[in-house]
Amino acid sequence: MKTEIAVVGGGPAGLAAALALAKVGRDVCVLERNDWPQDRACGEGILPDGLAHLQALGVNPAGMPIKGIEYHDARIGSFRGIFGHKPALGVRRTVLSEALHSACSTQVDLRPHEAVSGMSKIDKGWRLETPQGSLDARYVVVADGPRSALREQLGLTGKPPMNVDRLGWRQHLNIEPPSPYVEVHWGMGYEAYLTPVGPKQLGVALLWRQGVEIPKGPSRLWRWLDRFDGLRGRFDGAEPSSAGRGIGRMAVSARRSTFEDGCFVGDALAFFDGISGEGLSAGFAQASLLASAFETGIPNGAVPGLERQLWATLRSKRRLTHLLLLLHKHPTLRKFVFALFRRQPQIFGWALNRSV
């Protein structure tokens, strides 16, 4: 079996890359170890630049418009940053997966239940091994997520990009979202993110530093909410509407974004931290980039500039993540910065809109 471009991994980054490449005339196949639609631990907010890339691909998942982000710290107070004229969207991961899958279905060879167990170099391209047999591809886009086994096999796993070890977990409540903002509630070593994702569905994501004692067991969502002043009381009567899902260490990175006849996208390339809500947008920007790079075919040898351009999709997101992680780590600095943003919300609005 042969294909021009094989995408390994059918998460949002892989499907968006496949769709973008198919739209410029490439013959694309996606190998996915599970089936669609897929769910995953995520804050489920698509920031304005990511949404623009997604919509440019003709993908418009149903979700809740988001006007901006509100930060709350019980000791300091709260402030809000507004996304100017650019919209953002809260979307259930299953809905996003379904929308991308359906957009791909007429243009991309989608292969569920085909886990790639290894790849070996052939004269022009790569041979991918799956339980169903082997597939020769002229070019490979590796999009197999944060724990990318192919990145590991290629010896291209790099150092974690952030020097703080953080983990995440999420669940949903069947309640009308309280506002069209993502609410971020800060605690000591952890935060809660409330994202509207449906008319009667609110996503609750928790992020915390390794070492923080965390609630466990069936009532863990409520025990998490108990840790934030007044938060649990706002959701009296609501019921969980999804199973909880967690994720291990968030910060991951490849050493290079490209290799001979292949590249990484999405979390397989790098992910910093859910604190800035940036992973999906990065994946969608990388998909647009690949479409431009391969518009006229697959060149022999490296695609000029692709290595640098893929990293560039992450630059502003890295800066914002660093800033927010500094505030996470240093409550005193947070107090000072929050007080400044409360007095001068336009400063935060400016910083936010430069990054999203």
CB of 296 to ligand FAD, least distance (A): 26
181-186 and 68-73 strand pairing: parallel
Q: Residue 9 interacts with ligand FAD (CB under 6 A)? A: yes
Q: Residue 280 interacts with ligand FAD (CB under 6 A)? A: yes
CB nearer ligand FAD, residue 309 or residue 313:
313
- Taking CB under 6 A as the binding criterion, the range among 37-45, 58-66, 212-220, 236-244 that sits at the site for ligand FAD is 37-45
* Long-range CB contacts (within 8 A, 24+) of 184-190: 184/69, 184/70, 184/71, 184/72, 185/72, 185/73, 185/74, 185/228, 185/231, 186/71, 186/72, 186/73, 186/327, 186/328, 186/334, 187/227, 187/228, 188/331, 189/328, 190/214, 190/227
Footprint on residues 109-128 left by ligand FAD (CB under 6 A): 115-116
CB of 47 to ligand FAD, least distance (A): 6
Q: Residue 141 interacts with ligand FAD (CB under 6 A)? A: no
Footprint on residues 235-274 left by ligand FAD (CB under 6 A): 247, 250, 266-268, 271, 274
CB nearer ligand FAD, residue 207 or residue 254:
207
Instruction: Report DSSP letters for 197-263, one per residue.
Output: EETTEEEEEEEEETTS----STTHHHHHHTTSTTTGGGGTT--B-S--EEES---EEBS-SEETTEE
| Residue of the chain from 13, 100, 197, 356 that contacts ligand FAD (CB under 6 A) | 13
- Taking CB under 6 A as the binding criterion, the range among 26-34, 55-63, 232-240, 295-303 that sits at the site for ligand FAD is 26-34
Q: Residue 34 interacts with ligand FAD (CB under 6 A)? A: yes
| Residue of the chain from 49, 183, 191, 278 that contacts ligand FAD (CB under 6 A) | 278
Q: Residue 21 interacts with ligand FAD (CB under 6 A)? A: no
Q: Residue 11 interacts with ligand FAD (CB under 6 A)? A: yes
C-alpha distances in Å from residue 268, one per residue of 13, 160, 193, 219: 9, 12, 24, 33
Q: Give strand ranges (E) for the chain.
A: 2-8, 28-31, 45-46, 64-66, 68-73, 77-82, 88-90, 109-111, 118-122, 125-130, 133-142, 166-173, 181-186, 190-198, 201-209, 245-247, 252-253, 258-259, 262-264, 270-271
- Taking CB under 6 A as the binding criterion, the range among 5-13, 53-61, 324-332, 343-351 that sits at the site for ligand FAD is 5-13
Footprint on residues 42-71 left by ligand FAD (CB under 6 A): 42-46
Whether residue 164 contacts residue 231, with contact meaning beta carbons closer than 8 Å, is answered with no
| Residue of the chain from 8, 184, 194, 306 that contacts ligand FAD (CB under 6 A) | 8
Given the rule CB under 6 A, which residues bind ligand FAD? 8-14, 31-34, 38, 40-46, 115-116, 143-145, 149, 168, 170, 205, 207, 247, 250, 266-268, 271, 274, 277-281, 283
